Structures are given as structure tokens and as C-alpha cells.
Amino acid sequence: MSAQGKFIIFCAEQYKAAKHLTGKQLSELFGKYHVWEYLYSCFEALHTTGTNYIIEDIDLYIGA
């Protein structure tokens, strides 16, 4: 698996735990707002940040 793939899975699991979502809820949310694509496209910038920053960034992206 690529570094980007591992990172996206890490982000998804951290977001799911922080927001108390089921896997299905997370998948639907990330699919609806294209978060999967966002995380992939922002890998270079986000992979050096912390978990809290990533969760906040996803929230901002979804809210935009």
C-alpha cells in the first residue's frame, strides 16, 4: 500500500474515533463531501501535521 493510502486510512480512523462515527457513517460523510479525494490531494501538506490539526482541517473542509 502506498504512503498516501496508509495516510488516508489513518486520517479516516482518527476522524471516526474523534467524532464517534461508525464505519458506514464515516464512509458516507467522506463520500458526500469528497474528503477521500481532498486527503489524497493534500497529502504532502497534511502528513507532517498532528492528528488534532487533521481532524480540524477535515471539519473546515466539510463546512466550506
Average pLDDT over residues 16-42: 97
Mean pLDDT of the chain, nearest integer:
96
Residue of 34, 3, 29, 33 whose CA lies nearest to 16: 29
Average pLDDT over residues 29-47: 96
pTM: 0.92
Q: Which domain holds residue 56?
A: 3-63
Torsions phi, psi for 38 (to 5 deg): -60, -50
**18 pLDDT more than 90:** yes
Confidence band of 64 (pLDDT split at 50, 70, 90): confident
pLDDT at site 62? 97
Q: Distance between CA 21 and CA 24 in Å, rounded?
A: 8
> How many structural domains is the chain composed of?
1
